[in-house]
């Protein structure tokens, strides 16, 4: 891969930093203020989003565990602490000393291939599986090794894409995660394309001048490490976004017109149902003689009790002190007329 010096990175940061940093801060603040602007409060993580976060966490953890040396097979040069141009017999004599049970079939295949320096260079780029298992590959056509290795390169990306599709599924998880489905798919696809591009562009001849073990660029093993870390970071980023959006902390998606209509219709239906219930209760009360008498007795008794309470000396003095100089009768009359007009509309004039 093409090396980028620290000076180049520093120059880019000095040039783009003053432009991008205020925009990033402004975007972050707007996203953080979005819940208050929309009248929403922070809520716990919904159960369906918890399932998605669990799936992403397990997948991200699996990718990170995959980077441990226990789960990776080092190159024979690292394993035997040998330089690139070491004689084949010496290399595999050292390797045999590290194999208590003798050579594996892959070791035998590599032994016959390592007679050529070109094969050693291709081995460092594409790994042992491609070198030993590809039946149509030819050192004179290095691109043939790339075609064969595309499957092993894309399998982790395809697996992670399936996990993302499951974690953002509207059917399995819910609409809280579905808003990130398109963005997550685009980023996952971009990482896969970038991975293939880097492998295709890297020149395996870069290791031709490596004289010591420390000078060898173990490209295949480095890419395995970077690939797993990138996929784990992607799943972690998606999980973080799901957490913020599902708890109304940030990244709120405004409801669509259809959702607004559905919500309004639901509220109207609930109010209509309550009004129908009140009407049925009122109808049953009026039609039943005993219930009607009970209601009439209640209101007569309630009026008597309230009149006696309001005629009490202490209550009269308290009301007078509370309302003295604070009650605008004109405004009260105006509010009453406005309320009547809003409720009855033109019917108020007819009644009058």
- Residue 297 has what pLDDT? 87
Mean pLDDT for 289-312 is 85
- Residue 36 has what pLDDT? 63
Residue 187 pairs in a beta bridge with none
- Residue 253 has what pLDDT? 63
DSSP category for residue 68: S
- Residue 35 has what pLDDT? 65
CB neighbours of 155 closer than 8 A, spacing ≥ 6? none
Binned at pLDDT 50, 70 and 90, residue 348 comes out as very low
Place of tokens 């509220």: 267
Rounded CA separation 221/227 (Å): 10
- Residue 350 has what pLDDT? 44
Q: Is the pLDDT of residue 12 over 80?
A: no
Binned at pLDDT 50, 70 and 90, residue 1 comes out as very low
- Residue 121 has what pLDDT? 92
Mean pLDDT for 216-220 is 91
DSSP string, 248-260: TSS-PPPPPHHHH
Per-residue pLDDT tens digits for 19-67: 878 887 877 777 666 666 666 677 888 888 899 999 999 999 999 999 9
- Residue 15 has what pLDDT? 77
- Residue 238 has what pLDDT? 94
The answer to whether 226 and 232 are in contact (CB under 8 A) is no
Rounded CA separation 202/223 (Å): 11
* Residue among 55, 56, 92, 57 at smallest CA distance from 77: 92
**Between 163 and 253, residue with greater pLDDT:** 163
Mean pLDDT for 107-131 is 89
Rounded CA separation 351/349 (Å): 5
- Residue 352 has what pLDDT? 46
Most confident residue range from 4-8, 28-32, 306-310: 306-310
């Amino acid at each position: 891969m093409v090396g980028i010096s620290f000076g180049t990175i520093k120059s880019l940061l000095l040039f783009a930093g003053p432009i991008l940093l205020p925009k990033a801060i402004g975007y972050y603040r707007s996203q953080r203020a979005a819940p208050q602007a929309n009248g929403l409060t922070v809520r716990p993580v919904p159960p369906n989003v918890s399932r998605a976060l669990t799936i992403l966490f397990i997948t991200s953890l699996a990718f990170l565990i995959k980077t441990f040396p226990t789960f990776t097979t080092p190159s024979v040069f690292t394993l035997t602490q040998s330089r690139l141009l070491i004689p084949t017999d010496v290399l595999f004599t050292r390797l045999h000393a590290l194999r208590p049970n003798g050579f594996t079939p892959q070791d035998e295949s590599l032994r016959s291939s390592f007679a050529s320096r070109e094969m050693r260079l291709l081995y460092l780029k594409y790994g042992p599986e491609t070198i030993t298992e590809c039946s149509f590959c030819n050192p004179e056509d290095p691109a043939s090794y790339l075609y064969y290795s595309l499957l092993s390169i894309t399998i982790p990306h395809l697996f992670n894409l399936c996990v993302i599709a499951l974690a953002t599924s509207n059917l399995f998880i819910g609409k809280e995660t579905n808003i990130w489905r398109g963005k997550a798919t685009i980023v996952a696809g971009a990482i896969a394309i970038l991975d293939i591009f880097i492998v295709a562009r890297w020149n395996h001849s870069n290791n031709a001048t490596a004289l010591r073990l420390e000078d060898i660029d173990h490209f295949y093993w480095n890419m395995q490490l970077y690939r797993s870390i990138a996929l784990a970071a992607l799943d972690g980023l998606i999980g973080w976004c799901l957490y913020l959006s599902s708890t109304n902390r940030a990244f709120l998606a405004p409801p669509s017109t259809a959702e607004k209509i559905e919500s309004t219709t639901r509220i109207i239906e609930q109010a209509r149902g309550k009004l129908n219930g009140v009407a049925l209760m009122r109808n049953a009360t009026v039609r039943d003689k005993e219930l009607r008498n009970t209601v009439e007795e209640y209101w007569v008794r309630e009026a008597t009790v309230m009149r006696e309470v309001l005629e009490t000396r202490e209550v009269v003095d308290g009301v007078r002190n509370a309302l003295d100089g604070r009650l605008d009768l004109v405004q009260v009359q105006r509010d009453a007329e406005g309320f009547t007009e809003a409720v009855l509309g033109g019917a108020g004039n007819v009644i009058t």
